A and B are shown apart, each in its own frame.
Chain A
């Protein structure tokens, strides 16, 4: 009997590690994940080293050479102030890749905490909080972001907090659903019988077991965060000039499309498209691996 007691935790530990390894193998074998990861890695590289490798200063005006079409000198042409579009697109990765992951992180941390508490305690607090969540969900993310940024004024920190808070109820809902099934399992009962403190049961016992869904939710939300932040920047309520943010570049230049000056709009548009598609392929690869 005693040998079994000593062996049991080791066996459980091993199988947990094996299933984690199996999952990792599935993720690394998924073509969508690998393609997405390659695209993501490219933009992360641009965000980290872009300012050091671009041919021109992305902020430098050169009004005499404004709106030059793509050429050997300016690969992506120049914009209405004569700035080099190629340099601005490469350096522009930095803003979105700082703001979007931080916003998603804020939403994931707050949402996970909220989801753990509401899912674990159920009852009145759960009902009330879920009603408020429903009310928040009735307003599209872009619309509520626009409202909030009009009130507090646009800045990077404001965008991070607003998007983070808007995502909180959405993530809370996913985590809550996962907690609802976890709380009925024996290990939670066991922790409760050992008289563990509730915060320990929540964050020490249940949280590690719902980290899979939380990770998947984080990557899915990251895609939406890039979507929403780029849109807010495009509407003029996100990242402010003269930053080389992609949404902002499109906002500044799309009026020139009908005059035939397509390059200052099309290249940032392609940058956004590749980044969101990359993140979504990563999310898709992870989802498939975790749902098996």
Chain B
């Protein structure tokens, strides 16, 4: 177990470093003149040259990578071109806002997904199973922004029961904030439900099929007890550990959702950075998104390893 953790953390660090290289290189191949694109075509050449000098865009590529990477451990990601503010000061609050939205979405989708998956497994092969499986799969195939405009139209405008912007007025109570977040969270629920239900269904079906379940049934335990004590206990812990690997989809989904609901999270920040060709902000945002994903999958792997005795007691993994 100790060796597994060490190896897994080391691999995460290597991946993180590669990620920083990919993000940096992607932003560096931008054609053209950084200061020129900030100042616009009418600026005087001397002003452009001076700004390029100040931003350090004339330095060699390796020196710039070195500067950028050296700042990261201190939380220094450079300064935004468009907003003239340190990138980390902009990402921090945005990340916190996104986390609130993501947390609410998980809070809704985890119980729903597990309930759906377990139900499907208990009715395996029958109409209810197909309805949950195919319905969930179809729901998760539809892009978040399509869900977003649909729920805005249905709940926000036609039924007029929920706010269509995600940002509660300043000083709003906790419950009001939650109310404003329900529609955006609902879009994430639609997209994530199918995957979670499929995981829970597979885990439950496997447990139902196992020898220990058959033993429990044969020794005359009531069906309810068999399901609760033998089936669910074995099938759900891995499912819960797998939830964290969905963070990637979740963050990808946040981009469009935060834009539509005008919510000041990491996704809207990313779109703004891209719109403005604000490369320090863009680099920083993408890197932070990658780090969040890596941390989540690392946590998921470790949790899964802990829950899975075959890994806990040092069987091979790859």
Contacts and interface: CB of A to CB of B under 8 A. Distances in A.
Interface of A: 32, 131-132, 134-144, 146-152, 223, 227, 230-231, 234-237, 247, 250, 254, 257-258, 260, 262, 265-266, 269, 272-273, 276-277, 279-281, 284
Given A138-B15, A237-B274, A276 B143 contact: yes
Interface in B254-308: 255-256, 259-260, 270-271, 274-275, 277, 282, 286, 289-290, 293-294, 297
B260 A277 contact: no
Nearest to B285: A143
Contacts of A254: 149, 152, 260
Contact of B157 (A136, A234, A262): A262
Contacts of A152: 29
A57 B88 CA distance: 49
Given A32-B134, A138-B290, 8 more contacts: A136-B22, A138-B15, A139-B248, A146-B274, A147-B26, A223-B141, A231-B143, A262-B153
B138 A234 contact: no
Closest 6 CB pairs of A and B: A140-B252, A135-B18, A280-B141, A150-B274, A138-B290, A276-B141
B44 interface: no
A72 B259 CA distance: 34
A274 to B, nearest CB: 9
Nearest to B164: A258
B252 A257 contact: no
Given A146-B270, A234-B145, A140 B137 contact: no
Given A139-B293, A141-B252, A227 B157 contact: no
Overall SS of chain B's interface: helix
Given A139-B290, A143-B286, A227-B141, A265 B14 contact: no
Contacts of A281: 134, 138
Contacts of B145: 230-231, 234, 247, 250
A107 B229 CA distance: 45
Contacts of B137: 280, 284
Contacts of A144: 286
Contacts of B212: none
A284 B134 contact: yes
Given A143-B286, A280-B138, A273 B146 contact: yes
A231 B289 contact: no
B146 A272 contact: yes
Nearest to A260: B157
A124 to B, nearest CB: 14
A231 B289 CA distance: 18
Contacts of A230: 143, 145-146
Which of B16, B255, B275, B293: most chain A CB closer than 10 A?
A: B255
Contacts of A250: 145-146, 149
A235 B259 contact: yes
Contact of B26 (A148, A227, A269, A276): A148
B63 interface: no
Contacts of B11: 131, 134
Contacts of B290: 135, 138-139
Nearest to B28: A151
A52 B63 CA distance: 57
A150 B277 contact: yes
A134 B293 CA distance: 11
Given A32-B134, A265-B153, A276-B141, A147 B15 contact: no
B22 A135 contact: yes
